[in-house]
Amino acid sequence: MKNFRFVLFVLAAILLVPAARAQQNGVKADVPFDFAVGNRAYPAGEYTLRAALNGSGVIRIENMNEISAAFTQTNPCSKAKPAPETKLVFHRMGGHYFLYQVWTAGNSTGREFPKSRIEVELAQNHEKPEVIIVAAVISR
């Protein structure tokens, strides 16, 4: 019985270590403008985005300049080909910037952020979004 428990413990440790490492990886970017995610505003600055829990779709957005963080629910999105670069994709409408998607190099799946009330209103007024790309790097 002790051997069985030991084997289970070792298997659990083997399975949890990669999951913990995956959670530690994030995307780091220096965003040169104020922006919104959902109904929350963020100032320009250096940000790290990472999964709060594996597979949950919740992303932690951490402002490295102000040492503050917030969580937001995201939805999966995909492309036919893997992303060639790690990047944050923003929509600019009516002088406002909205975080739209995050992609990591080599992955054909990314995360898409919820639209804010203002972004929905601007879209209803037939405002076309301009796509703005901010280069990012994978952080550990």
Question: How high is the pLDDT of residue 15?
Answer: 38
Please list the ranges in the chain whose pLDDT falls under 50.
4-24
Q: Is the pTM of this model over 0.95?
A: no
Q: Is residue 36 part of a domain?
A: yes
Q: What is the three-class DSSP state of 25? A: coil
Question: How high is the pLDDT of residue 85?
Answer: 96
* Residue range of the domain that includes 32: 25-139
Q: Is residue 12 part of a domain?
A: no
Question: How high is the pLDDT of residue 22?
Answer: 37
Q: Is residue 18 part of a domain?
A: no
Question: How high is the pLDDT of residue 6?
Answer: 41
| Dist CA 39 CA 8 (whole Å) | 44
Q: Is residue 7 part of a domain?
A: no
- The count of domains in the chain is 1
Question: How high is the pLDDT of residue 1?
Answer: 53
Q: Determine the length of the chain.
A: 140
